[in-house]
Chain A
Amino acid sequence: AQKVTQAQTEISVVEKEDVTLDCVYETRDTTYYLFWYKQPPSGELVFLIRRNSFDEQNEISGRYSWNFQKSTSSFNFTITASQVVDSAVYFCAAYAGGGSQGNLIFGKGTKLSVKP
C-alpha cells in the first residue's frame, strides 16, 4: 500500500519569506516517482516538479527547490522569497513504478497563504 502524508494543513508567511512544505511518501516499492502540484484559487492543478527515487541530486529551479531524503521517505519543497501569487494549495503526489500503470495518489494538501 502507498501513502502520501502532508502534515501541514495551512501555512501563512509574509512576502519574501522562504517556506518549506513537507511531504512523506510510504511505499514498499524501490522505484517510485514524486511530484508537487499547485492548485491556485482558480482550481486547476498545475504540475511543478518531479523527482525519481533513483535520482541522486536535489535540484533548484528558479525560486523552487526540493529535497529528497530516501532514508526518511521525505520529499520537501521550498519556495524561496515567496510572493503573493504563490498563495495556493500545494499537493504532494506520488506513484510507485513496478508493474503498475502508475496511478498518482495525492496527499491532503497544504494551503499556503502569502501576505503582502
Chain B
Amino acid sequence: EPEVTQTPSHQVTQMGQEVILRCVPISNHLYFYWYRQILGQKVEFLVSFYNNEISEKSEIFDDQFSVERPDGSNFTLKIRSTKLEDSAMYFCASRLGRGTEAFFGQGTRLTVV
C-alpha cells in the first residue's frame, strides 16, 4: 500500500542551525502539506503546496520556513535558524484531489537544544 515517508524520524539540532526535513509523498497525489504538533498538543497547519507553489501558509510559517519540491518525488521543509520553540513533531501529508483524505507520514521529531 502506498504511503508517505519522512526522514529522518528524529533529529536533534542546536539552536540557530538550519534543518531540512524530507518527505516523499504518495506518487500520484497532487496536494502536499506540512503540519506541526508540539508535544501533547493539537496538530497545526503550516503550509500547503499545489502545482509547484505554496497555495496557503499559516501564521506559524514565517520567513524562517521554506518548502521545496526539488524533483518529482521529494518535498522538503527547511527551517533556517531553529529556535527552541520549533521543537515538535513535523508531519508531511499528501492527498490525491479535492474531497479526498490526506495521508500522513510517520513524522519527524525535531528537538532543538
Contact = CB atoms under 8 A, between A and B. Distances in A.
Interface in B92-106: 93, 95, 98-106
A102 B91 CA distance: 17
B82 interface: no
Contacts of B12: none
Contacts, number: 59
Given A103-B56, A105-B45, 18 more contacts: A35-B101, A43-B106, A44-B105, A45-B93, A45-B104, A45-B107, A47-B104, A50-B100, A91-B43, A93-B43, A97-B99, A100-B56, A102-B99, A103-B33, A103-B48, A104-B45, A106-B42, A108-B41
The 10 closest A-B pairs by CB, nearest first: A45-B104, A106-B43, A101-B55, A44-B106, A108-B42, A50-B101, A47-B101, A101-B48, A103-B48, A103-B45
